[in-house]
């Protein structure tokens, strides 16, 4: 593989005396899907927040596209091309679907030099994006508070597919989805990766990880307990890495 997209080098995070991350090192390539697995409290979400600008690491460094990288805010991470879908949904339920889809990136046109929201253009884009993903939402103008959990998650997923970027972080994106929607979600991930975008997906469901990932990284108690190519391991081996019974099959891939 050529130069990796994102390299984490001994990243740590302390909350007071508690070491949430004790030194994480791994890398993600372009167009690669990495499944990040680990038990509750292993530090997966903390790691995602550090990459996406929600938290600053205590020590360690990151290289993004070969350059030193540290996002001090989600806006900086976004500007660098990192999109994140969080576990607790990041939607404003008090506004409609279109407003949520474009949150912070609204299409505007100038009227007398003042930026004015171009609602019609935005609605057309959302309609197209949702239709191509096969998501049905009765009206794009209904407030999100009136939509079901699955519909809300679908909006988030379609949002990252649409905006793309260079690296996508998904923190348990399928928690509220049905069987059919999950299958479509996994397809979306492969489709995004085939465009050369790196994907990190956190999941608890082994089957999903093996369906979609190229590589599986296991985190246990704040360190990388395993980093293996999918086709060189098995669900049982991964479960052992997660629970820490053995370290069989551990070690960097390739």
> 48 vs 225, which CB is nearer to another protein?
48
Q: Which residues of 114-141 are buried (b: 16+ CB within 10 A; e: fewer)?
A: eeeeeeeebbebbeebbeebebebeebe
Tell me how far, at minimum, the Cβ of 101 lies from another protein, in Å.
10
Tell me how far, at minimum, the Cβ of 173 lies from another protein, in Å.
14
> 149 vs 244, which CB is nearer to another protein?
149
- Helical ranges in the chain per DSSP H: 44-52, 74-80, 97-101, 119-132, 149-163, 179-194, 206-212, 235-243
Half-sphere exposure of 188 (CA within 13 A, CB side): 28
Cα–Cα distance measured from residue 250 to residue 215, given in angstroms and rounded to the nearest whole number: 12
* Residue 95 to residues 127, 140, 141, 170, Cα–Cα distance (Å): 17, 10, 8, 23
> 82 vs 224, which CB is nearer to another protein?
82
Tell me how far, at minimum, the Cβ of 122 lies from another protein, in Å.
10
58 in Cβ contact with 43 (< 8 Å): no
Tell me how far, at minimum, the Cβ of 145 lies from another protein, in Å.
8
Cα–Cα distance measured from residue 54 to residue 121, given in angstroms and rounded to the nearest whole number: 31
> 122 vs 218, which CB is nearer to another protein?
122
End-to-end CA distance of the chain: 10
Tell me how far, at minimum, the Cβ of 99 lies from another protein, in Å.
6
Residues shown for the chain: 254
Tell me how far, at minimum, the Cβ of 117 lies from another protein, in Å.
6
> 115 vs 178, which CB is nearer to another protein?
115
Cα–Cα distance measured from residue 58 to residue 177, given in angstroms and rounded to the nearest whole number: 35
Cβ neighbours, 10 Å, residue 59: 11
Q: Which stretches of the chain bind another protein, using CB under 8 A? A: 52, 54, 73-75, 78-79, 84, 86, 89-95, 99, 103-106, 108, 114-117, 142, 145-146
Cα–Cα distance measured from residue 227 to residue 225, given in angstroms and rounded to the nearest whole number: 7
Tell me how far, at minimum, the Cβ of 190 lies from another protein, in Å.
25
> 73 vs 194, which CB is nearer to another protein?
73
């Amino acid at each position: 593989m050529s130069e990796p997209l994102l390299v984490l080098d001994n990243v740590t995070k302390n909350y007071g005396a508690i070491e949430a991350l004790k030194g994480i090192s791994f890398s993600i390539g372009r167009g690669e899907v990495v499944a990040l697995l680990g038990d509750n409290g292993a530090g997966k979400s903390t790691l995602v927040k550090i990459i996406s600008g929600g938290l600053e690491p205590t020590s360690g460094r990151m290289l993004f596209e070969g350059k030193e990288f540290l996002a001090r805010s989600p806006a900086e991470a976004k500007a660098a091309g990192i999109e994140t879908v969080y576990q607790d949904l990041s939607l404003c339920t008090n506004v409609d679907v279109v407003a949520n889809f474009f949150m912070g990136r609204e299409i505007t046109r100038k009227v007398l030099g003042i930026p004015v929201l171009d609602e019609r253009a935005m609605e057309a884009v959302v309609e197209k994006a949702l239709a191509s993903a096969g998501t049905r939402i009765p009206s794009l103008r209904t407030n999100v508070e009136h939509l079901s959990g699955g519909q809300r998650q679908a909006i988030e997923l379609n949002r990252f597919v649409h905006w793309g970027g260079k690296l996508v972080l998904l923190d348990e994106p399928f928690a509220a989805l049905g069987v059919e929607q999950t299958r479509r979600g996994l397809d979306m991930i492969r489709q995004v990766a085939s465009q050369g975008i790196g994907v990190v997906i956190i999941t608890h469901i082994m089957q999903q990880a093996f369906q979609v990932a190229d590589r599986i990284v296991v985190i246990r108690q704040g360190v990388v307990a395993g980093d293996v190519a999918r086709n060189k391991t098995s669900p049982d081996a991964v479960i052992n890495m997660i629970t820490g019974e053995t370290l069989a099959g551990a070690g960097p891939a390739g």
